[in-house]
Structure 1
Amino acid sequence: MDRRTTPARPDLAASHLEGQVEAERFTEPVDRQVGHANVWLRSAPKDDAPVDTELLFGEVFAVLEEKDGWAWGFSRNDGYTGYVPSDALDRDVRMASHRVSALRTYVLSKPDLKSPPVALISLNSRVAAGRREGNYVEVIGTGWVPQFHIAPVSATEPDFVAVAERFYAVPYLWGGKTSVGLDCSALVQLSLEAAGIPAPRDTDLQEAELGGRWRHVAADAPKRRGDLVFWKGHVGIMTDGEQLLHANAWHMAVAIEPLAEAVERIEKTAGPVTSVLRRSR
């Protein structure tokens, strides 16, 4: 069982895992909702524990235990399991009607461009939309956002690569999932999600799951826009037959470079390309 996606410890596990894992007791999760613009999910209940990923505003987090200011549970979005500060979670869960479609947008205190901002929320954050006044829509319980920065949750982007290209030059940040900073697998997950294509959070999980649904392409075969190129611990997106878009620690940013150059450099540390996946139409 992978600890990243298996909400189980020796002393406690989610009820749906009973009979699959060993634990002293099993419990039903209680849904909470991320009320902060974003919150780090950590591998242990400590402020200095390693960051695994980032939860976005409006994301539902299934809580299995709350103790000493920390909530342990898993994201309803991608199943990622870990610890977040309890005070980042709201007890009232509002059904999301819209998602943020801009890279980021300010939530304002009033439907007025001169009003003070109360939060800066990111692409794919979930909001419960209320009233509309002028060009602003109410985020129930929080504030107001420009109507052009949100879209119904059912609306999807036609080209996930175009979504990824909007992140060009964003800083690289391990565990990050926003346009303030993100890593290679977050770039893929966020872009696919905006296009209505679910994907796991981490590179190896993406390669395994998408590899069961997408077509495998030979590493030396001609590439196409939208092909995903995987290495051990890394992934990038082809923007055409030759250029690779990826968030990477070499440039410390989301960069576009010739695939051949990336392959030559990455092979020295991570080995050769492990797979190339092409979405089945």
Structure 2
Amino acid sequence: MTDRRLTPATERVALDSWRDRLQRPTYTPGRAARLAVPVADLCRAPDGARDRQVNFGADLLVIDETGPWAFVQAQADGYCGWLRAEALTGERPVITHRVATPATHVYPEPNLKTRELFGLSLGAGLAVTGFRDGFAALAGGGWVPAQHVTDQPARDPGAVAQSLLGTPYLWGGNSRWGIDCSGLAQAALTACAIACPGDSDMQQAAFPATDQIGRGDLLFWPGHVAMALDAERMIHATAYSMSVIIEPITDAIARIDAAGQGPFRGAHRPPPPQPGAGFP
């Protein structure tokens, strides 16, 4: 059985590479595109429910289109869904940097007193062509504060997650404007060049279990994931507070069990950061 979230096919079109796995009326090699808006929902159907989000600069493969909607697969984690086609561009200059802070602004010129064009979230991919007056110039136009971008991965997923403290909870969210539990885990690990799937069940399957909880481990419940900051504390995006919070692990286990949302499924350990690997 295929997982619809990772299946690059609609009812009428599938990727060429899936010919031996899926029968469809037609197949396509797909069309490379890039997200050109700050953040976009990946929906289950055109104008349907949000599953996840993708951020500015995300490389996508367009598989099908209907009206104003495009069915795409995110190249970073394989997640599939529908988004508004107007959010895409065919221009794909080389991504050289990523946003390294929770959020930043894009300005029309290298001057912080000018009116910003739009905001970007942690992890947004940037094609930087040069630096001037403390700003990074973007290939498609616009300037980002230089101290907000990096071409090197972070070293501590826990620290990245902590930078998002207070971010509002949003089901399926992947940005500073709103994030959910698996979105927070993915953002923190991806910032450290650690490949991470998009949803908590995928994340639990992707990393090996561990009996001793340590910093950066992922802690799982049915439909929920948190990140350990040490053996006693964890950080997570939770509907309990509708935000990203830190709380004692034992308290969270008891609270979640009492709410009938358990049991605790244990800890899984992502690999350590590998400097330069798969980044930016």
Per the alignment, residue 277 of structure 2 pairs with none
Seen in structure 2, the aligned counterparts of structure 1 residues 37 and 280 have a Cα distance that, compared at 3 Å, is: closer
The one-letter code of the counterpart of 2:248 is: P
Q: Secondary structure at the match of 1:163?
A: helix
- TM-score, structure 2 normalization: 0.93
Matched ranges for 1:114-129 at <5 A:
114-129=113-128
Q: Deviations over 1:152-195 (max 9, x none)?
A: 1xx11111101001111111111111112100001000000011
Partner of 2:88: 89
SS at match of 1:272: coil
Q: Which runs of 5+ in 2 are unaligned?
A: 273-280
The percent identity for this pair of structures is 33
Q: Does the alignment pair 1:255 with 2:235?
A: no
Answer yes or no: is the 8 Å Cα contact 1:156–1:196 preserved in 2. yes
**What is aligned with 1:202?**
199
The C-alpha deviation readout for 1:95-139, integer Å capped at 9, x for no partner, is 211111111110000111111211101111001101321101111
CA distance in 1, matches of 2:266, 2:22: 31
Cα pair distance change 1:279/1:27, threshold 3 Å: closer
Per the normalisation by structure 1, the TM-score is 0.93
Pair 1:274-2:265 in alignment: yes
Instruction: State the shift of 1:14 in Å.
Output: 0.8
Question: Which of 265-274 and 36-45 deviates more?
Answer: 265-274
CA distance in 1, matches of 2:236, 2:158: 11
Match runs of 1:107-256 below 5 Å: 107-152=106-151, 155-211=152-208, 216-218=209-211, 222-256=212-246
Distance 1:66 1:9, change over 3 A: closer
Distance 1:226 1:64 in 2: 35
Structure 1 position 271, deviation (Å): 2.0
Instruction: State the aligned residue count.
Output: 270
Give me the whole-angstrom Cα distance separating, in 1, the residues matched to 2:203 and 2:217: 13
Opposite residue 264 of structure 1, the aligned amino acid is A
Q: What displacement does 1:228 show?
A: 1.2
> Could you list the per-position Cα deviations for residues 19-53 of structure 1 after superposition, in whole angstroms to 9, with x for gaps in the alignment?
0112121111101111111111111111xx11111
State the SS of the aligned residue for 1:4. helix
CA contact (8 A) 1:10 1:22 kept: no
CA contact (8 A) 2:234 2:249 kept: yes
- What code does the residue aligned with 2:210 have? V
Moved over 4 A (4+): none
Partner of 1:3: 4
CA RMSD of aligned residues (A): 1.3
The separation in 2 between residues aligned to 1:130 and 1:161, in whole angstroms, is 31
